[in-house]
Every structure is written in structure tokens, then in C-alpha cells.
Amino acid sequence: MLWPQDLWEFSSAFPEKRYRYGRRKCQGRVFCKSSVYNDLTAKYPVIPESTDVGTTEAPAHPPPPSDAVEFPIGWLLKNAAAPIQYRAIKDVVALDDASDEFVSIALNFRQSLEIALAQRSDGTWGGKMLAVPSGARFQVGQLGTISAARRLLESGWGRETPPIHQARRILFRLLAEDDDQNFLFEFREAGRMDLDRVRRGRGILREAAAATLARAGFEQDPRVRGAASRALARIERFVSSPLAARPWIRVGNKQVLAPEAAPPSIYALEMLAFMPAFRLENSTRMDQLYAYVTQPLPRQESVQLVGDAVVEQPHLVLGDWLPHANAADADVPMALYWLELMARLQFLRRNEGWSRVFNRFLGHRDRDGVWHSHSGLAAPKSSNPLVWHAFPLEPTVEREGKWTDVTFRLGLIAKLSGRQIEAIQAARRT
């Protein structure tokens, strides 16, 4: 199968760059390669008998090393969708030398191709940014640009693939600290808008675009680093101020966030999660952020006074989104998304509560390492649009496909948190 050259005129010739990070001895490596994917003939991979998966960077004050986590790579290659297969090989089992050989597995996935083909000539999708499909059916026409790009990245598409390359221009434009209403997209209102509402919309899109670019591997780009520095500075000013302890004001008979309150957003956390070198340079600020996101979640709704109106702010993180196991059971995809972010931020192993929730997930696996729901036979679902880009990557919810997403995520979170991965190639059932 050949890439449709009539849809994109694309070429790249960037030299390979290698960046090394690590608190002490460069324990982790990130490889940024560019290539044009023309041959999309999928190959079924052969996994060696044993794989050295290495370790990830340890947090500042980690507990004693945990036991190895069994990861059913053979079962996933047999039952999972193409993006999960590729991500399992590349990100969990970590066959770095073979990742380019297996990339066609992800590029051949029909759902990802539908998203790529729906991109407009200006690099956007649907004239929106954060929109996601509504309902159970996958409808590409409802996608926004940031949501589509994040989904492709989550499905294993690299930053040099044509749709991500085409989307770069608008994503980098959104990083600008201006109040241009032409770049509000779905946040734009009819008539003249209040300046506070303009700044709110631009601020949300700015951090969401920065998170997408960081996820694509642009950590070293000065525009992304600038956006991260400004976002982290705003967060530091807020969490260090008395306003962080009492950010609420009364409007009518309702308590809402004060206009000047600037708690971290989920997009800011995701941006920082994919910037390990930047986090090392700002370790003190990251410790402040950890203290804030581990505090109890307030009972008040996440709404804020913006201008003269009270608006919902579901993207703001006012405390611990995963305080106990009941919260994880209520929304499994959201719980896994939160645990993955905390693992990438090197927060997971520092927090006893999150570690217990994660170990509880691991305890619900069978003897082959495959996760199963303890509350029934239905596949886990979420109505939260913040996790749409990551869950589910599996298009089918029948038979073994119901458990592939969670099984993969558990292995990925374990790897990111520094635990050893023991690859299982064959089922142990008799």
C-alpha cells in the first residue's frame, strides 16, 4: 500500500538527533528521527525470547524497587489493534532498534488513516481545535485539530508523518501570547467578545497546543520551552500565593473560582509530562506542583468568574483527581490517563495512594497478565472528552478486544514508573 502522494507533498531530510536525560547517569534516551513512510506493508513482528527493557529516571525520593511486572506481549500481538501492538513493541517492550521496522503496523490502521485523510489543506480538522466525536460511533467529521493530532500521536504516528507535519504551523501559531480572536476557533462568540473571555479561550488553546507539540517530541524547540516556562511560572505564582488555599468567591448563592486564580490545567500537566529535560531544570517548581496536585480535591465545582459570566473550567486541576479506588472504578479510562501522567511526571512512585490504586489494577490481571474487569464483562468506557485521544485505541469491544487497552496501559505505566517488564510471549493456560 502506497501513501496517497496526491494528498500531501511532503519530504524531510533531518539528521538524527539524540538527547540524553537523567538525574545522574543518563538513564533514559529519546530518539527523534524523521522519515517519509511510503511502504505501509505491515509485518508481523517476532519478539526475541528475552528483552532488556532498561529503566526510567527515578523520582527524587522513590520507595524501594517494586517487583517486575509481567506484560503479555504475545497475547497483545494476537488480539490487539494495530496501534496497541506497535506501542507495546516500541514503548513497553522497548525494541528501539526494531521500532522503525514495525512502524507500518500503526500506519496501516484504518481509523488513523481516516483521520489523516480528513485533514484540510491548511492543516486543520473541522475548523475546531478541541472537539471530539459525540456518541459511541467514531465520526471523523466532528474532530478538532488538536484532538486529531493527539489521537494520531497516541496511535503511534510520528511527528514527521504528513498529517502531524501539516498541523505544526497552526499549533505553533497558537503558542503566541496574544489576544487575536481569529485563533479562538470554537471559543469564538458572535459579536464583540469581552477581553477576559478572549484570553481564557486563547489560554486553553495555547496550553493544549503546547501539550500536543511536546507529545510530538518538540521539547527542545524554543517556542515550546517558552510556553512551558510561562505556564510553569503562572502555576508557581498561584500555588505560592494565599489564593491557592482559598481561591473561592461567592457569586449569588454559588462559590466559584476567583478571576485571578490560575491553577494548573490538565494540558499543562501533559505538556510537562513530555518534557523530562525541562522538568530537571525546574525541579523545585515541580516539587511545588506535586504538593498541589496531591492535595484533596475540593467539593466545589470547577467553575470560574470570567468577565461578568460564570463559566465551566473542567480542564483545571484543583487537587487529586484519583483520591481512592472508588474513583478509579467509576471511570477506568480517566484513572489510567491520570496514572500515566503521574508516572511520566515521576510523581507516581512518590505517592502511596496512587501506587495502591495502580497495584490494585495489576491485581485484576489473570495468570497471563491480561487485565479483566472485576465488575462485569463490559469493556470500560468514559464520557470524559479529556481522555478521548487515548482511550480506547481498540475499535472493537468484543471478545478479547475488550481488555487490550487496559492491559497495554498497565504495562506502559509500569515501564514509565521504573518497574522492570517481563515480556510473556505465550499463554500459560492449560
pLDDT tens-place string over residues 45-75:
444 444 343 434 444 445 544 588 999 999 9
Site of grid cell 469581552: 194
Identify the weakest region by mean pLDDT among 86-100, 116-130, 269-283. Answer: 86-100
Mean pLDDT of the chain: 84
Encode pLDDT of 235-294 as tens digits: 999 999 999 999 999 998 899 999 999 999 999 999 999 999 999 999 999 999 999 999
pLDDT at 94: 80
pLDDT band with cut points at 50, 70 and 90 for residue 352: very high
pLDDT at 401: 84
CA-based torsion, 68, 57, 61, 358: positive or negative: negative
* Pairing label, strands 17-21, 28-32: antiparallel
Residues 119, 122: Cα–Cα separation, whole Å: 8
- Going along the chain from its start, the domains and CATH numbers come out as 19-423 (1.50.10)
In the predicted model, what is the mean pLDDT of residues 119-144?
Answer: 87
Residues 185, 176: Cα–Cα separation, whole Å: 15
Q: Is the pLDDT of residue 4 over 50?
A: no
* Between 135 and 24, residue with greater pLDDT: 135
Predicted TM-score of the model (pTM): 0.82
Encode pLDDT of 6-56 as tens digits: 434 333 333 433 333 333 333 443 333 333 333 434 444 444 444 343 434
pLDDT at 400: 84
Encode pLDDT of 374-406 as tens digits: 777 778 888 899 999 999 998 877 788 889 999
Q: Which residues pair with 333 in a beta bridge?
A: none
Please give the share of the chain, as a percent, with pLDDT higher than 90. Answer: 67
In the predicted model, what is the mean pLDDT of residues 81-93?
Answer: 93
Residues 274, 32: Cα–Cα separation, whole Å: 13
Q: Hey, what long-range contacts does 60-66 have (CB within 8 A, 24 or more apart)?
A: 60/283, 60/287, 60/346, 60/350, 61/350, 62/349, 62/350, 62/418, 63/349, 63/355, 65/418, 65/419, 66/419
pLDDT at 257: 95
Q: What is the 3-state secondary structure (H, E, C) of the chain?
A: CECCCCCCCCCCCCCCEEEEECCCCCCEEEEECCCCCCECCCCCCCCCCCCCCCCCCCCCCCCCCCCCEEECHHHHHHHCCHHHHHHHHHHHCCCHHHCCCCHHHHHCCHHHHHHHHCCCCCCCECCECCCCCCCCCCCHHHCCHHHHHHHHHHCCCCCCCHHHHHHHHHHHHCCCCCCCHHHCHHHCCCCCCCHHHHHHHHHHHHHHHHHHHHHCCCCCCHHHHHHHHHHHHHHHHHHCCHHHCCCEEEECCEEEECCCCCCCEHHHHHHHHCCHHHHHHCHHHHHHHHHHHCCCCCCCCCEEEECCEEEECCCECCCCCCCCHHHHHHCHHHHHHHHHHHHHCCCHHHCHHHHHHHHHHHHCECCCCCECCCCCCCCCCCCCHHHCCCCCCCCCCCHHHHHHHHHHHHHHHHHHCCCCEEECCCCCCC
pLDDT at 361: 95
State phi, psi for 125 to the nearest 5 degrees. -125, 125
Identify the weakest region by mean pLDDT among 24-38, 67-81, 126-140, 154-168. Answer: 24-38
Please give the share of the chain, as a percent, with pLDDT higher than 70. Answer: 81
pLDDT at 297: 93
Encode pLDDT of 298-345 as tens digits: 999 999 999 889 999 999 999 999 999 999 999 999 999 999 999 999
